[in-house]
């Protein structure tokens, strides 16, 4: 069995929970509260900014220049396609420059990006791929599941169109193949560590939907602290 097939099998219950999460299901139906999607766009823009940086870190850790160039291209795609898509969504959703300037990442978004950096700085290129691959792969599978949906909101339709596209599928397949190649060259101990990165990232993907659906807050946000200080 390919390493990627084993990873996918191991996380199947977690991914199935993502498929069934109300955020994902309601997005496909077009019934998702726009407040949740608006929140998601802000948090995901933060996440993707750091995702692109981790992709670039992975490229710097690669053994050959061709892979370095490919990872740089993946980072560029994250900016040009996904982040620009979010910029379009922000305009359509009326997100202001003041809101962007005062943005604070939610606990889950902060923790997920920190996990990816930890995988990068404490491991090798295989660790980076294992940590970032669930984001690619899960989104593609969700895009495939939802691509026949016809949500009545154009923003939701555009999101589905992006992640169910052949362009995105090719990116996913490239990274899966790259991970399988690395898996043939590393020790069992390293494979187990890579499996853990993949598993943790899959958990965070589920938590990300939940974070957006519940409009997650820090237990004590700045306004709460200031209110307590004035009391």
> Which of 34-48, 88-102, 174-188 bottoms out in mean pLDDT, i.e. has the lowest?
88-102
Q: What is the pLDDT at residue 200? A: 98
The residue that leads in pLDDT, 11 or 1, is 11
The predicted pLDDT at position 106 comes to: 97
In the block, which residue shows the tokens 């990006």?
113
pLDDT at 222: 65
Clarify whether 205 is annotated catalytic: yes
pLDDT band with cut points at 50, 70 and 90 for residue 76: confident
- What pLDDT does 223 receive? 61
Place of tokens 């009545």: 152
User: Over the stretch 121-146, which tens digit does the pLDDT of each residue have?
Assistant: 999 999 999 999 999 999 999 999 99
Average of pLDDT values for 145-149? 94
Please state, rounded to an integer, the average pLDDT across all residues of the chain: 92
Q: Under DSSP, is residue 137 helix (H, G, I), strand (E, B) or coil?
A: helix
From CA 138, how far away is CA 135, in angstroms rounded?
6
The two structure tokens encoding residue 47: 């996440």
Q: Catalytic site residue 29?
A: no
Mean pLDDT of the region 100-110: 95
Q: Determine which one of 135, 141, 149, 192 is catalytic.
A: 135
Q: How far is CA 190 from the centre of its chain?
A: 23
Average pLDDT over residues 141-169: 91
Instruction: Look up the CATH superfamily of 3-215.
Output: Heme oxygenase-like (1.20.910.10)
**What is residue 106's DSSP assignment?**
-
Distances (CA, A) of 105 to 51, 83, 98, 205, 221: 14, 16, 15, 15, 11
When pLDDT is cut at 50, 70 and 90, the band that residue 84 belongs to is confident
User: Among the options 149, 205, 216, 222, which is catalytic?
Assistant: 205
Which of 31-35, 80-84, 162-166 bottoms out in mean pLDDT, i.e. has the lowest? Answer: 80-84
Q: For residues 114 and 116, give the distance between their C-alpha atoms in angstroms, rounded to a whole number.
A: 5
Answer whether residue 53 shows pLDDT above 80.
Answer: yes
**144 φ/ψ sector (left φ>0, alpha ψ -120 to 50, else beta):** alpha
End-to-end Cα separation, the chain, in angstroms? 62
Domain spans in the chain, listed from the N-terminal domain onward: 3-215
Q: According to the model, what pLDDT value does residue 165 have?
A: 85
- The band of 120, judged by pLDDT with boundaries at 50, 70 and 90, is very high
Q: Is the pLDDT of residue 197 over 90?
A: yes
């Amino acid at each position: 069995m390919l390493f990627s097939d084993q990873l996918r099998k191991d996380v199947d219950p977690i991914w199935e929970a993502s498929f069934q999460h109300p955020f994902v299901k309601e997005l496909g139906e077009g019934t998702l509260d726009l407040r949740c999607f608006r929140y998601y766009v802000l948090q995901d823009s933060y996440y993707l900014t750091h995702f692109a940086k981790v992709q670039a870190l992975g490229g710097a850790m690669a053994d050959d220049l061709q892979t370095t160039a490919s990872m740089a291209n993946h980072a560029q795609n994250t900016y040009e396609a996904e982040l620009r898509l979010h910029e379009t969504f922000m305009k359509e959703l009326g997100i202001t420059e003041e809101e962007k300037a005062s943005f604070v990442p939610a606990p889950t978004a902060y923790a997920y990006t920190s996990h990816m950096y930890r995988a990068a700085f404490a491991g090798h290129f295989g660790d980076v791929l294992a940590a970032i691959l669930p984001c690619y792969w899960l989104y593609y599978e969700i895009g495939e599941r939802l691509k026949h949906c016809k949500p009545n909101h154009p923003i939701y339709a555009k999101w589905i169109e992006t992640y169910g596209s052949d362009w995105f599928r090719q990116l996913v397949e490239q990274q899966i193949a790259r991970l399988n190649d690395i898996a043939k060259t590393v020790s069992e101990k390293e494979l187990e560590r890579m499996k853990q990165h993949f598993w943790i990232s899959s958990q965070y993907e589920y938590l990300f939907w939940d974070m957006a659906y519940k409009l997650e807050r820090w237990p004590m946000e700045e306004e709460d602290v200031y209110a307590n200080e004035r009391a």
